Amino acid sequence: MKKLPLIAAVAAALLQVGCGTSQHAESRGQAPAATAPQPAATVRVASYNIRLSSGDKGTPNAWANRKNDLIALIRKLDLDAFGLQEVKPDQAEFLDKNFPDYAKYGEHRGADRKSDEASSIYFRTNRFECVKGGTFWLSETPDVPGLKGWGAACPRVCSWALLKDRRTGKQFCFANTHTDHVSALARKEGMLLIIKRMKEFAPAGTPIVFTGDHNCRETEEPAQAVSKILKNALYVSETPPEGPWRTFSGWKWRDREYPAVDAMKLQPNVRNARKGSPDADKKKNGGYVWEDCGPRIDYIYVSPGVKVKRYATHADPRPGTQLYPSDHFPVTAEIEL
C-alpha cells in the first residue's frame, strides 16, 4: 500500500469520528462500493443504550463486570448498523477493539468533541460506506459543541450518517440520539430540532432510520412529533413483535416479562402511564398495569416506504445470572429499504 501523505493520514485517523471511505474498506480487505443497483436486501438495525462506564462502580453492574457480556450480546444480534447511547471514551475504545469489522461515526458531546458521552453509529464496512455525516447539539445553538439546551441536565447530541449499501447501491440516512432525562421541554425541543435537521441532511426521498433512547413514552410530545413524519418500527412490523414491552429495566430483574404483543392490546394511555398520571390507578391483579408493562423509551423509527420484516426487544441476561448487560434492552428491526 502506498504511503499516505500527511493530510491523508490525518483524514484517515478521523474515521474514528467520521465517515469511512471505499479506500479505507479496501485497505482492510473488504469489497469496494457497489457500482450498480442490486435487488433489495434486508438490513438488520438496532438501538441500544449501553449504560455509561462511570456509573454503578463497586456493584455487579459495573462496566468492568458486564462489558464482555455486552459485546457478546451485540455479536449475537448480528447487526448491520446500530445506534448506541451513553458511550464514554473508554467504552468507545473497547467497542472499537471488539468490532474491527465495523466503522463508527459520532462525536462525543463535550465541548472538545472527544469527552463525555457519544450517541455513536456503527456499521459494517463490508456492507456500507459512509457518504457523509454530522453531529449537532440539542440546544438553541446546535453547531456550538458542549452546550445544554432548554433546561437539560447535560449536553445532548444527535449524530447522523448517510450510508450507501455496497450490495444494492441504495443510500439511507441513519440518525441516533439520546434526549434529556430531566427536562420535558428539552426532550420536546430537541426532537423538533432533529426533525428540522433531518429535512436538511437527508436528501429528498432518502429512506431514514432513526434510533435512540428518547426518554419518553410513545404518547408524549417528542414521540408524537416524530410519528408525524416517521413510523415506529414496532407497529409496522410484518410479523408480531418479539420480546417484552419494556426497554428500560433500571437493573431490575424479572422472572417473567410482559410481552409487547400483550401490552399492545391495552390502550396506549394505560400501557404508557407514569406514576401519578391519570391512568396510573388502573389496577390489574392488585397492581398497576403500567408497572406490569414497564417503561418503553427506546425506539427505532423508519420513514414511510421502508419495510419492517421483523422487530424484537432482547431481554437477554448475562450468562448464569439474573443481571443484564445494560440497564436498557437492545431493540432490533430487520428492514428492507
Give the strands of the sheet with 81-85, arranged side by side: 102-105, 121-124, 81-85, 42-49, 331-336, 307-313
Q: Going by C-beta distance under 8 Å and a sequence separation of 6 or more, which residues neighbour residue 60?
A: 66, 321, 323
Handedness of CA 280, 283, 286, 288 (dihedral sign): negative
Cα separation of 35 and 30, whole Å?
A: 15
* CB-CB contact of 196 with 189 (8 Å): no
* CB-CB contact of 334 with 44 (8 Å): yes
Q: What does pTM read for this prediction? A: 0.88
Query: Do strands 171-178 and 208-213 pair parallel, antiparallel, or not at all (unpaired)?
Result: parallel
Residue with cell 423508519: 302
pLDDT at residue 18 is higher than 70: no
The residue-averaged pLDDT of 311-332 equals 98
Cα separation of 35 and 248, whole Å?
A: 42
What are 134-144's pLDDT values in tens digits?
999 999 999 99
Give the alpha-carbon dihedral of 208, 214, 219, 220, to 10 degrees: -110
If you compute the radius of gyration of the chain from its CA atoms, what whole number of angstroms results? 20
What are 28-58's pLDDT values in tens digits?
233 333 334 445 689 999 999 999 999 999 9
Report which of 298, 303, 272 is spatially closest to residue 205, judged by C-alpha positions.
Answer: 303
What are 252-268's pLDDT values in tens digits?
999 999 999 999 999 99
Q: pLDDT tier at 274 (50, 70, 90 boundaries)?
A: confident
pLDDT at residue 1 is higher than 60: no
Q: What is the mean pLDDT of the chain?
A: 89
pLDDT for residue 119: 98
Cα separation of 231 and 36, whole Å?
A: 29
Report which of 308, 300, 305, 309 is spatially closest to residue 331, judged by C-alpha positions.
Answer: 300
Residue 16 has what DSSP assignment?
G
What are 63-85's pLDDT values in tens digits?
999 999 999 999 999 999 999 99
Cα separation of 206 and 230, whole Å?
A: 12
Q: How many CB atoms lie within 10 A of CB 172?
A: 23
pLDDT for residue 40: 64
Cα separation of 92 and 269, whole Å?
A: 37
pLDDT for residue 64: 98
Q: Going by C-beta distance under 8 Å and a sequence separation of 6 or more, which residues neighbour residue 245?
A: 257, 258, 259, 260, 262, 263, 264, 271, 293, 294, 296, 313
Residue-range domains of the chain with CATH: 15-258+296-336 (3.60.10.10), 259-293 (no CATH)
Q: pLDDT tier at 292 (50, 70, 90 boundaries)?
A: confident
pLDDT at residue 217 is higher than 50: yes
Instruction: Tell me the β-bridge partners of 103.
Output: 123
